[in-house]
Structure 1
């Protein structure tokens, strides 16, 4: 039985090591989501002033350094542009769950010992982490959804422009 207790203590120690990196990843995710929210508002304001097709064609041409652009090249550009938003929107909730579960062990032990202060301290850390992670995921998912629509509309318009360009030649 002592063997299993040693395994439990080892697992607890290993999981506790991951708490700080997970909390840092949640903080970075939240900062990234806030930065992307600002960029999203700027892009929305720019889209009202300038059509997106020219921007998409110009950005893709600069990226590829050639004039013959296929729709596959533009789709790849769009996927690369949305990649980190997708990663944050999908991983932040998982990080929040990890950051919730790690402090729950000490909180339950403190509850068993009748130490309400320690329970409260661990629960605040657990719930704060999951709230911030869900906030980062929600903001990232919202931006991802709208930006994907914008870029796919731009792609459709760019394909039409390229088709008209090749027909006129």
Structure 2
């Protein structure tokens, strides 16, 4: 295991203020080439991290279920869309459909997703460590750094690469 990942949960908690400030500074550095580092760091992180050993995202946060997600997943489960929504989803404060409860009802005891082939777009793109969304929404990335070891890893490696 990488030294960065040793006791990452505690380190992420301890570095919350510094990481939030770092992300806010990165957001203002758009176009300075920082985002070009992400694909390499994303691949590096996932060469060291197995999501199936963690599952924190599915255990603690919910993706947004957009209209096409609802339609696709309901069909996959052999349910009517309205029944799928009534059974599994609720509207959050932003008016987005999210799961009613955590952990996600589709997460198995082995951390495998029961709807992986048709999972919501948010799940497919999470944790956004290989795209500009990593910088675009610093508050979400900051929160994700305490949930996902890959986000924490990429943040730490970015700081290393930038000499911070």
**Superposition TM-score, scaled by structure 1 size:** 0.23
**Superposition TM-score, scaled by structure 2 size:** 0.24
**Structure label with greater radius of gyration:** 1
1 or 2, which has the higher helix percentage?
A: 1
